[in-house]
Structure 1
């Protein structure tokens, strides 16, 4: 039987208290087209456990695994090799069951791991301090924008046209509740970034400039000039890094003047996993540390002089008065942060640099091979392991055509920017150390046939 502890009178009293006339009023932010008006079509009301298992297995066989086909998808989530030791270690009981330590100093192992994770992120990003992780890159990006508002007491953020559209969408959703004005534009299929336009747009009302590095099309820009102009006008520079492996080869954003650096850590230690869970990275310069969201673990000594770890700073609403909190994020992606830290430790600085150069070398090979295909034009002048192609045909049907042939060709800009006709022929191609020469040849042959 169903367990329904509330009576109709209980529900009516609760709705009256919050000023809602019906349950439907609680879902007004969900587009009407996305709401169900009845049971899901084609889904039976009940079935046996064995029947459900057979049905789900049949559906699963329709999937094309990332490891079973030439794979060139990227645009914020990347297929890298994760050593088996990472999965083995994170499944140890003391890690797998660990949650937010409410008596943090008791959980010395958890605190030490987070301290080392923070150190790795800070060094990777070229910043003074990093927090103990966030949900994912997109929410970390928004938290950086609202942090800049607190620091500058301003409410206008300039978002680069090269910022991932999903990150822009998250920021736009959250800005509805804070009143922040977000200024952005669509990218153009050209080798040049929008750096000049950003420089011209910065004024005394600007709280921050948000730039992705490398950007959504894979282009790489020197952030120094944008940082200098932002600082001249009292604004902050926020750099977003969706591919952390790139920083094994590229100059860290913090070393170019970025005040806050955020991004997605999935590439290191975390598999694709149908889109999550992932791990958000967040770092800043020390002068802003008290405005940083999330938690910060620190190192100290105990009464006997022995090394120990403590929860040094926690400005989230779960620990302090809500009106004083910098964020309402109530946990961190602890297990994914652990996977990131283990993989990073196994690589070491030299290993990360070697991995980055391997990625870049294979990407160069792929770009040269694909640009030689009739009907394919390479957009980028510079890139790390991801670049954009301009096809002679609309990219979305080409991608679907190649997927039916068992080749996952990349991410079409038409999918990321529906309705933007000027971008419909764009295709983002990502290449990692898991890509082989045979994969590149298969993609080139597939594009040749699809564009003929």
Structure 2
């Protein structure tokens, strides 16, 4: 879209039409402390479009991005190699320009891929049925909590301390409007998950227990006992998976008794783009399907007996009466879901296992390299897939900044994720995928030796 600035005469006419004397009148309710005092630093005034593009391009090149050097950032968004064929396929006209497939006669390609997407997610998560994607993992997590309230008719959710804090934040925001009570605590720097503590907190008022697998610190726990206790008390077990590649090696949540499994699909098919887009995954056991948010693509036959695909179940408020709706989320990230399915289809089951093995192998190599950590520093995890936490003898955020100056993106500090929990400030979460070479890990090891000396 071209930028066509308004003339002073245009602005005067527009202000007159709305009864404002000046542009400043439009912002009179914005507190002075929130307003910009002066010009934007570093940007030229009244420059040409070409000049501004050059200036912004130079600023953008100051960023250290995935692919510019050794990269070990995870915590819910992961860098995997995406075959060029994925991008080629989703840019085909029938996919790229297709919006929500309400008219099956012109959206058979999209509907069929969504049907296959559902099948893949259900198998990956060990559930009976999956929906046709959601906005992202965090909102899918909240939708699962809301679904548990509808199923159990209770309003108290137990959230594991190992659940991603951004997911917790989204749930807290939404719970303000629904009245749900969220029982959540900050994680401790322990090598074990908080499963034992959660077992003791489940009671007759609990609607659901929400557990991340692997959790925010990379720890892996067996959810079977939690599922059994939750079911004894009439509650549901919700599992959150932020790294679906892990399920190429790990036992699925559904096999351990999870009633609802949600997650983030970005790892497969969707690259890191400075914050998005993402793709929400949502699956459950069949007996709860009527309470599942979003929509389902189903297979049927037309009047001539030919196979066709349609929207079978749509429980969003834009489809049905508001009081009957299970969700008001109206974005299902269809294009990202298509990319997820195309990537997973190209991998196949054997390919997914190899991808998972490669990621785990890199993490094991790094764990062995970092056994030297000085001054009481240590690796926290007893178990991990491709991500683990190290506890330094000093605050982790300055260490991350120092390594970034050296061209190494060395993970996510817990001080950034939990700014109000100083006891976690020394924690650093490192993620390893098949894109991290042994040379990259050696570079991380060498840089840490210098910085921590």
Normalized against structure 1, the TM-score is what?
0.93
Asked if the contact 1:105–1:309 (Cα under 8 Å) also holds between the matched residues in 2, the reply is: no
SS of the equivalent of 2:208 reads: strand
Shift of 1:361: 1.2
Correspondence 1:124 to 2:127: no
Shift of 1:300: 1.0
Aligned to 2:403: 402
Asked if the contact 2:131–2:296 (Cα under 8 Å) also holds between the matched residues in 1, the reply is: yes
**Counterpart Cα distance in 2 of 1:319 and 1:11:** 39
Taking a change above 3 Å as real, the CA distance of residues 372 and 184 of structure 1, as seen in their structure-2 partners, is same
Describe how 1:300-311 pairs up with structure 2 within 5 A: 300-311=300-311
Taking a change above 3 Å as real, the CA distance of residues 105 and 291 of structure 1, as seen in their structure-2 partners, is farther
Shift of 1:298: 0.4
Asked if the contact 1:105–1:311 (Cα under 8 Å) also holds between the matched residues in 2, the reply is: no
Aligned to 1:417: 418
Normalized against structure 2, the TM-score is what?
0.92
**Counterpart Cα distance in 2 of 1:447 and 1:59:** 28
Aligned to 2:339: 339
Number of corresponding residues: 438
Shift of 1:372: 2.2
Deviation string for 1:104-161 (max 9, x for gaps)? 3431111001000000000000000101111110010001001111111111000000
**Counterpart Cα distance in 1 of 2:267 and 2:320:** 33
Asked if the contact 1:413–1:426 (Cα under 8 Å) also holds between the matched residues in 2, the reply is: yes
Unaligned stretches of 5+ in structure 2?
1-5, 21-25
**Counterpart Cα distance in 1 of 2:369 and 2:132:** 41
**Counterpart Cα distance in 2 of 1:290 and 1:439:** 48
**Counterpart Cα distance in 2 of 1:40 and 1:214:** 46
**Counterpart Cα distance in 1 of 2:295 and 2:13:** 37
**Counterpart Cα distance in 2 of 1:33 and 1:342:** 50
Taking a change above 3 Å as real, the CA distance of residues 60 and 313 of structure 1, as seen in their structure-2 partners, is same
Correspondence 1:246 to 2:241: no
Asked if the contact 1:373–1:444 (Cα under 8 Å) also holds between the matched residues in 2, the reply is: no
Unaligned stretches of 5+ in structure 1?
13-21
Taking a change above 3 Å as real, the CA distance of residues 34 and 277 of structure 1, as seen in their structure-2 partners, is farther
Asked if the contact 1:208–1:235 (Cα under 8 Å) also holds between the matched residues in 2, the reply is: yes
Shift of 1:67: 0.7
Aligned to 2:3: none
Aligned to 2:174: 174
Aligned to 2:277: 277
**Counterpart Cα distance in 2 of 1:313 and 1:428:** 40
**Counterpart Cα distance in 2 of 1:270 and 1:76:** 13
**Counterpart Cα distance in 2 of 1:5 and 1:224:** 67
Correspondence 1:381 to 2:382: yes
Shift of 1:303: 1.6
Deviation string for 1:420-448 (max 9, x for gaps)? 12111100000000111111111111111
SS of the equivalent of 1:122 reads: helix
Taking a change above 3 Å as real, the CA distance of residues 413 and 301 of structure 1, as seen in their structure-2 partners, is same
Q: Which moved more, 1:299-308 or 1:75-84?
A: 299-308
Q: CA RMSD in A?
A: 2.1
Shift of 1:23: 8.5
Shift of 1:8: 8.1
**Counterpart Cα distance in 2 of 1:361 and 1:8:** 66
Aligned to 1:256: 256
SS of the equivalent of 2:182 reads: strand
Describe how 1:31-70 pairs up with structure 2 within 5 A: 35-36=34-35, 41-42=40-41, 46-70=46-70
**Counterpart Cα distance in 2 of 1:435 and 1:340:** 21
Deviation string for 1:292-348 (max 9, x for gaps)? 111100011112211111100000011111121111111310111011000000000
